[in-house]
């Protein structure tokens, strides 16, 4: 977390996001974000003349301890450019978790934009990649049958689960000893920092590039930011322009991002506590998570909890809350009333699931974390 004193959390906004548990992307800009947009500097950022944007980028560089940073239009853009910075001439490959967003959820960007093979790894602990996983699957050497690993990409947090800092350090040291760059999909690195008390810089020291989202959990309407070395960020600016990401009056986007850093980041611990409280309350109903609830996600283990997801999604409609799958996403704008309604929906779903006839085929697909991805063991 930032070391400077934190302002008090903003009062909860009456927001359309209050009932929306689908993702922590479904937040709405706060009044202070809108105010900041209106008083942004309105310089042209393609010419690097926008003070609001350069100020935001300097602040992220300071917080991450990286040499520089660059605002991105999305987390996907930050990831794809971040990885591409380290990939120069195929054959080459990226090693990552099989559920990693950069691989499974970015429209085959690694293949299209970086001409990269991917080594998608199932972590042996079922939670996060370890050095043992990396050593088992990394492609080293010059065997002409293979595509050597040139980048290891770690998603922190992944499924809301924390990767221990020591594990990140071990992977990073191994990678660097073998000429491999390390990228972080830190869409939710803010959460990791808030949960563990390790600063962003504590994490970022082990990475060559770090992509973070400002519209996920952090609550800004648009964007992300890529941090790295001065030379890499200079090249990233070029690649971003090539992808249509040269933004003119970028301050209207970076101003709310700056507010998000100052106002919403300090509220994340509270969000984590509320998620853990929900875990305890659901536990009392026999509803258990698939993976540890370290931060802001609770993935319902539908099978072990005796919940038919089709039934649950219908109940959510009845109680006026939004859920799309097994993931309950908490964020700063979820209201207490919505949590109560979600619990009611889940309680009724458990009761009604018991009454389903034998052999009933659910209206919703279930199958564990990552089941939205086509490329996993459950599909
Ligand atoms: C872990 C992770 N990385 C990257 C992204 C991509 O962000 P965006 O939707 O802004 O492209 C997401 C989006 O949900 C994500 O969850």
- Cis peptide preceding 157, ω within 30 of 0: yes
Whole-angstrom distance, CA of residue 5 vs CA of residue 172: 31
Q: How far is the CA of 234 from the centre of ligand 1 (A)?
A: 23
Confidence of residue 369 (pLDDT cuts 50, 70, 90): low
Q: 182 pairs with which residues across the strands?
A: 152
In the chain, the DSSP E strands lie at: 68-72, 93-97, 117-121, 149-155, 181-185, 209-213, 224-228, 297-299, 327-329
Choice among 21-30, 45-54, 108-117, 369-378 with the minimum mean pLDDT: 369-378
Whole-angstrom distance, CA of residue 238 vs CA of residue 348: 53
Query: Domains (ranges, CATH) in the chain?
Result: 29-265 (3.40.640.10)
Cα–Cα separations (whole angstroms), residue 263 to 149, 218, 322, 376: 39, 9, 25, 37
8 or 171, greater pLDDT: 171
- In the predicted structure, residue 6 carries a pLDDT above the cut 70: no
Nearest atom of ligand 1 to the alpha carbon of 77: 11
DSSP string, 33-91: HHHHHHTS----TTTT--HHHHHHHHHHHHHHT-SEEEEESSHHHHHHHHHHTT--SSS
For residues 198-209, one letter each, b for 16 or more C-beta atoms within 10 angstroms of the residue's C-beta and e for the rest, the string is bbbebbbebbbb
Q: 299 pairs with which residues across the strands?
A: 327
Residue 7 confidence (pLDDT): 53
Q: Tell how strand 209-213 and strand 181-185 pair up.
A: parallel
Confidence of residue 31 (pLDDT cuts 50, 70, 90): very high
**CA-closest residue to ligand 1 atom 9:** 75
**CA-closest residue to ligand 1 atom 13:** 75
Residue 151 confidence (pLDDT): 98
Confidence of residue 9 (pLDDT cuts 50, 70, 90): low
- In the predicted structure, residue 372 carries a pLDDT above the cut 50: no
Ligand 1 touching residue 187 (CB < 6 A) = yes
Give mean pLDDT, residues 338-364. Answer: 94
The percent of residues above 90 in pLDDT, for the chain, comes to 90
pLDDT digits (tens, 9 = 90+) for 289-302: 999 999 999 999 99
Give mean pLDDT, residues 145-151. Answer: 98
CA proximity to 222, closest of 252, 191, 264 = 252
Place of tokens 């760059």: 181
Ligand 1 touching residue 185 (CB < 6 A) = yes
Give mean pLDDT, residues 164-185. Answer: 98
Residue 350 confidence (pLDDT): 97
Q: Which residues contact 325 (CB under 8 A, 6 or more apart)?
A: 309, 364, 371, 372
Average per-residue pLDDT in the chain? 93
Q: Which residues contact 144 (CB under 8 A, 6 or more apart)?
A: none
Residue 360 confidence (pLDDT): 87
Compute the radius of gyration of the chain from its Cα atoms: 21
Give mean pLDDT, residues 94-100. Answer: 98
CB 3: neighbour CB atoms within 10 A?
A: 8
Whole-angstrom distance, CA of residue 125 vs CA of residue 278: 25
Residue 29 confidence (pLDDT): 96
Residue 371 confidence (pLDDT): 44
Residue from 24, 72, 75, 327 whose mutation best tests the ligand 1 pocket (most atoms within 8 A of CB): 75
pLDDT digits (tens, 9 = 90+) for 58-83: 999 999 999 999 999 999 999 999 99
Give mean pLDDT, residues 200-213. Answer: 98
Ligand 1 touching residue 20 (CB < 6 A) = no
Place of tokens 């390390």: 182
Q: How far is the CA of 102 from the centre of ligand 1 (A)?
A: 8
Residue 363 confidence (pLDDT): 83
Would you say 153 and 101 are in contact if contact means Cβ atoms under 8 Å apart?
Answer: no
Residue 16 confidence (pLDDT): 87
The tokens for 173 are 């040291």
pLDDT digits (tens, 9 = 90+) for 301-342: 999 999 999 999 999 999 999 999 999 999 999 999 999 999
Ligand 1 touching residue 74 (CB < 6 A) = yes
Residue 379 confidence (pLDDT): 26
Q: How far is the CA of 337 from the centre of ligand 1 (A)?
A: 28
Nearest atom of ligand 1 to the alpha carbon of 224: 10
Give mean pLDDT, residues 18-32. Answer: 96
Ligand 1 touching residue 101 (CB < 6 A) = yes
């Amino acid at each position: 977390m930032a070391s400077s004193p934190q302002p008090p959390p903003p009062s909860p906004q009456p927001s359309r996001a209050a009932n929306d548990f689908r993702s922590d992307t479904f937040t709405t800009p706060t009044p202070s974000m809108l105010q900041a947009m209106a008083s942004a500097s309105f310089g042209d950022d393609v010419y690097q003349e926008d003070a609001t944007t350069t100020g935001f980028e300097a602040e992220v560089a300071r917080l991450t301890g990286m040499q520089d940073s660059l605002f991105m239009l999305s987390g996907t853009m930050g990831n794809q450019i971040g990885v591409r910075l380290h990939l120069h001439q195929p054959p080459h490959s990226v090693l990552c978790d099989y559920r990693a967003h950069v691989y499974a959820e970015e429209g085959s960007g690694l293949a299209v934009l970086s001409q990269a093979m991917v080594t998608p790894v199932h972590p042996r602990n079922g939670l996060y990649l370890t050095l043992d996983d990396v050593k088992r699957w990394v492609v080293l050497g010059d065997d002409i049958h293979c595509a050597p690993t040139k980048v290891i990409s770690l998603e922190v947090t992944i499924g809301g689960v924390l990767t221990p800092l020591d594990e990140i350090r071990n992977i990073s040291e191994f990678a660097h000893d073998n000429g491999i760059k390390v990228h972080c999909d830190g869409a939710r690195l803010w959460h990791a920092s808030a949960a563990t008390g390790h600063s962003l810089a504590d994490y970022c020291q082990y990475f060559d590039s770090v992509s973070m989202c400002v519209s996920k959990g952090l609550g800004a309407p648009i964007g992300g930011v890529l941090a790295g070395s001065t030379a890499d960020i200079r090249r990233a600016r070029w690649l971003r322009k090539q992808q249509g990401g040269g933004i003119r009056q970028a301050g209207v986007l970076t101003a709310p991002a700056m507010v998000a850093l100052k106002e919403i980041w300090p509220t994340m611990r509270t969000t984590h506590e509320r998620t853990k409280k929900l875990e305890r309350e659901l536990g009392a109903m026999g509803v258990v998570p698939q993976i540890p609830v370290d931060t802001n996600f609770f993935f319902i283990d539908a099978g072990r909890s005796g919940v038919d997801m089709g039934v649950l999604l219908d109940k959510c409609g009845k109680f006026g809350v939004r859920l799309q799958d097994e993931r309950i996403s908490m964020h700063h704008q979820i209201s207490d009333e919505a949590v109560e309604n979600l619990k009611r929906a889940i309680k009724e779903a458990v009761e009604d699931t018991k009454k389903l006839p034998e052999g009933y085929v659910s209206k919703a697909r279930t199958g564990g974390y990552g089941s939205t991805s086509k490329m996993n063991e459950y599909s």
